[in-house]
Every structure is written in structure tokens, then in C-alpha cells.
Amino acid sequence: MKRRTFLRSAGAVTVGGMAVRGFSNPLMSALAKSAAEDRVLVVIQLFGGNDGLNTVIPIDQYSLLSQFRSNVLIDQADVLVLSGTNGATGLHPAMTGMQDLWNDGKLNIVQGVSYPDPNFSHFRATDIWETGADSNQVLDSGWTGRYLNNEFPNYPNGFPNVDMPDPLAIRVGGSAGPALHHMGISMAVAINNTDDPLSLVGNVYQDPVTADCKGAKLDFLRTVQRQADEYGDVIEAAAQSGCNLSTLYPTGNAPGAELAQALKIVAQLICGGLKTKIYWVSEQGFDTHAQQVNTNDHSVGVHANLLKGVSDSIHAFQDDLNLLGLEDRVIGMSFSEFGRRIMSNGSGGTDHGSALPMFFFGTQILPGMLGTNPVIPANTGVNTNLAMQYDFRSIYASVLTDWFCLPPAEVDTILLNTYQPLALVDPAGCLGIGIHEANQASGTSVLEIYPNPFTENTAVTFTSNGGRAMVQVFNEQGQLLTTLKNETMPAGKYTVDCNLGPLPAGVYYCRLQNEGLQQVKSMLKVR
């Protein structure tokens, strides 16, 4: 029986004032401890669209990059080379903290994250990432909101309670966005002011409740405020522990000081005993259309300060968790609403693009890099985007499956479709739930296009290890043109025809995903 299902079906008892399920042997006691010290996800949102090519730098593509973004590209001698990549990949020189996490085996970089038909509007793209929607779909609930509703389906009625006395989620340093909503209800408490963790809501108790629709809405609003007041009490109790131990957090006017303060509060509340499952923080300023770098030294400037702030803050947070003995309970992830174009612009900046790298950090992350360095087409133009390697919803599926231990059917319900999870989080703690193996097959070609270049027709040959296989073709803007295959099939080698006859000459991308394995190959259509 699945651990989570068993815990829900067992009889309830109280241990130390906390409701747990009935256990009568040492193994069950260990599970009770695991349930009490539940897993935490920390999400770091980078508003503005981060330039992934100057963040995780494909050194093996450096000569091509220097042709297309010479006015922003980091000098190769300054790049922080990542060990174990044979000198092919590095980080921006301001990201020494993230390099330390990489060297400690506490960092995973997922390359080429996007979705079919990417949107380049900040507002719409943010909405897509937060809700898990398709590009042509508008949702009124977020992916984490749907997850929390799955776990606590009666919320907000009857909350807080003995089983869950704490906020389900906490947004630190801003208001709770669409990601943390479900059907119009915020599943999170927002701490808007990081200088005052108890600044939650205003007061709406003055006016009497009438019998009409307005009164019903006011009564509901007061119910939510009463919850916020009670949550304020438990947050205050947790905050009073004052148990931060790391001295590495940026402070004052240092880059990332505000993000660091938010993460410091998160560490304090986790240490203080809150059972909150999701914390959400953010950093602004990544819309670097102009003056992204210093003209005379590309290793410094606006983007460098942003990356240094994020890197130093995450490194300090992880150090705090380590000193507090909490590392094994927490994983973190960062994302931005889109990446930037390959070619820089004439203003010393970069314009809205599609695919970008994501960072995952923690002791329970499978360290290393998922995917490969992005391939820079030799005939890159102003509209050329990086190829998508991973759908961001496959990453969400990985978190739900291997961190929060949900069975596949529940993951599909939350994400509103089936997305193949990746080898990203160590699944061992889920006691067999959702355990999967993924072979990235780096260095092994499992996808071939021949002829390539071609005029109208070509053939796509791929090797499947069994399970669901999907083969898609995108244009250089990241728009999905056709799905050549999307079905469950036995292991073997397959060939499908691809006809791009009516389309203009140019660069296209063919993408294979087979369970946790993916590869992307460029295709060149000529006249």
C-alpha cells in the first residue's frame, strides 16, 4: 500500500499535541516522524525572462555565440566551468554560490525548458508557467493550487485544524499569484513585507453581515481573514524561534538582499516547525532589453548583479538548511517566464525568447545536468530561438511524483494531461511510488533525420526503450508544427515520414521524448 494512502486510512492518535495516524511498531513510528516532518518545496520565480545563454553558458558553442551576441557574451576566460562536463558547460562568473552547490552534489540544471507555441508576453507567459496551461488555454487554477486542493480538498472550510494547523502554502515578499490559487480561492497566506513577517491582511470586521449576496461574500472574506489571523499566530510562534544559523545571506545594499531576506524567513519558518508544504519567493528585474552588461566588462552589470543575488541567496539558504539539519526535507527550484533570443540586440541587451535552463537544488535532487547544451544554428537570425528539450510540465510531474509521492493518476489530474516525469528528484523516499529510471543517453544518438538538409520530405528514425514515445517538429520560434508520433510502443527502432513541403526554407527542430529520455536534433529545409 502506498505510504500516503496508508497514512490517510490508519486510525488517528495524538502524539505531542500533533495528530498522526495510529502506529504500533518502530517502522510505523518512523513513518509517523516522516509524516510530521513533511517535505517542503521552495519555488523561486525570476520575473522578466532570464537570459539563459549568459546564465548557463554552452562553452562548446562559444565560437557561434560570439558571432551572434558579441556585445553581451561573457568572456570565455571568466566563465565558471562546471566539473564533470569536460569543459563544455559553465556558469556566469557571478554565480560562485551555485558553482559551490554543483560541486557539493546539490544542484541539477535542466536545459532547454519551454512548451509548444511559446508566448512572449510577460503576463501571458507567466500565467502559462504558473497554471500549467497550454499556450492556447486559460486556466483559473495554478499547478500548486491544484496540488494543494488534491491534498486538502475541503480548504478553506474547517481550516486550520488539528491535522493541518499551519498554512498550506506561504508566499513571502508579494501577493499569492495564480500558481497558488484553486477555483478563485488562494491556497496560500501572503507575507507581503519581508521586514514584517506578520503583515498578512487588513481588517474587515467592522461592517455587519447582511442577508444578501454581498453579505455572503463578506462572511466568506471574514472567514478567510479569521484563518489568516490564526495563521498569523502560528507563523509568529514559528518566527520567534529565531533559528537561522547561516552568516552567508546577502544584506543591506548587496545584490539579492531582498530575496535573501525572504529565503531567510522561509528557513526560519521551516525550522520553527510549520507543516507548510510550499513556499514561494521571487526576484524582479530580468527583462534585460538594454544595457544587460557593462560595455567594457561583460562579467559585470545589471544581469551579473541579478544572477549574483540569486546565486548567493540560494547558497546561503542551503547553508542555513544544512546547519539547521533540515536539508533532507527541502528542495528548491527556480524558473522564469521565458528565456531570451540567441542573437542580442543593438542596445546591449537581449529580447524575449523561449527555452531556458532551470535550477533545482537540495540534497534530494539528483545532481548533474538534464539535457544537453543548446545547439546554436549557424544561420541564426533575429527571430531564432533555442530548441525546447523539456516541457516545463514534465518537471512539475517529476516534483509531484518523486517528491510529493503522488501516484500517476493524481499527477495527471493535477496537470490536466499526461506528462512524462524526469530523473530529477531522488524517488527513494516515496517507498516505491513513482520510481522511474531515466537514461539521458548523452553521447548516444537515438534520433536521426535523413536526408538532412532536405527540400520537402525527410525521414525521422528513433529508438524507443519502450513506453510512451513522442516525436514533435518545431520551427525556430518554438511553435509546434506537427506531432509525428505520440503513443505507447514496445522497445525498438522506428521510422516515420516528415513532410515540411509547404513550409519555408530554414531551421527546424525535431524532438523525441521517450519516458525520461529526450533528444533534439536540428533540421535544415532548403529550397
Q: What is the DSSP string of 420-459?
A: ---TTB-GGGGTTTT-------TTS--EEEESSSBSSEEE
Rounded to whole angstroms, the Cα distance separating 506 from 285 reads 33
Of 375, 405, 430, which residue constitutes the final position of a domain? 430
pTM, rounded to two decimals? 0.79
27 and 156 inside one domain: no
396 and 459 inside one domain: no
- Are 49 and 286 contacting, i.e. CB atoms less than 8 angstroms apart? yes
Rounded to whole angstroms, the Cα distance separating 308 from 81 reads 16
Question: Is the bond preceding residue 197 a cis peptide, omega within 30 degrees?
Answer: no
Residue 163 lies in a domain: yes
Rounded to whole angstroms, the Cα distance separating 293 from 352 reads 17
- Are 425 and 148 contacting, i.e. CB atoms less than 8 angstroms apart? no
Residue 439 lies in a domain: no
348 and 219 inside one domain: yes
Residue 435 lies in a domain: no
Q: Which residues of the chain have pLDDT under 50?
A: 1-37, 198-207, 209, 432-443
309 and 326 inside one domain: yes
- Are 244 and 261 contacting, i.e. CB atoms less than 8 angstroms apart? no
291 and 200 inside one domain: yes
Rounded to whole angstroms, the Cα distance separating 433 from 425 reads 13
pLDDT of 235 reads: 84
pLDDT of 215 reads: 53
Residue 418 lies in a domain: yes
How far from 481 is each of 166, 219, 454, CA to CA, in Å?
46, 50, 17
Burial 507-527 (b: 16+ CB within 10 A, else e): bbbbbbbbbbbbbbbbbbbee
49 and 28 inside one domain: no
21 and 136 inside one domain: no
Question: Is the bond preceding residue 167 a cis peptide, omega within 30 degrees?
Answer: no
374 and 390 inside one domain: yes
394 and 515 inside one domain: no
pLDDT of 221 reads: 54
pLDDT of 325 reads: 95
Residue 237's domain comprises 40-430
Q: How many domains does the chain have?
A: 3
* CATH code of the domain in which 167 resides: 3.40.720
- Are 525 and 453 contacting, i.e. CB atoms less than 8 angstroms apart? yes
12 and 53 inside one domain: no
Of 366, 398, 430, which residue constitutes the final position of a domain? 430
Could you report the per-residue pLDDT of 510-527, keeping only the tens digit for each? 999 998 787 888 788 887
Half-sphere exposure of 402 (CA within 13 A, CB side): 24
185 and 318 inside one domain: yes
Residue 407 lies in a domain: yes
- What mean pLDDT, rounded, does the chain reach? 85
Of 430, 458, 483, which residue constitutes the final position of a domain? 430
Let me know how long the chain is: 527
* CATH code of the domain in which 453 resides: 2.60.40.1930
pLDDT of 203 reads: 39
Residue 462 lies in a domain: yes
186 and 297 inside one domain: yes
Phi–psi pair at 173, nearest 5 degrees: 90, 25
Residue 112 lies in a domain: yes
Cell numbers of 512, please?
523525441
Phi–psi pair at 55, nearest 5 degrees: -100, -60
Indicate the angle between helix axes 392-402 and 408-415, nearest 10 degrees.
140
pLDDT of 431 reads: 56
Residue 76 lies in a domain: yes
- Are 182 and 145 contacting, i.e. CB atoms less than 8 angstroms apart? yes
Beta-strand pair 506-514/517-525: antiparallel
The residue behind cell 521551516 is: 270
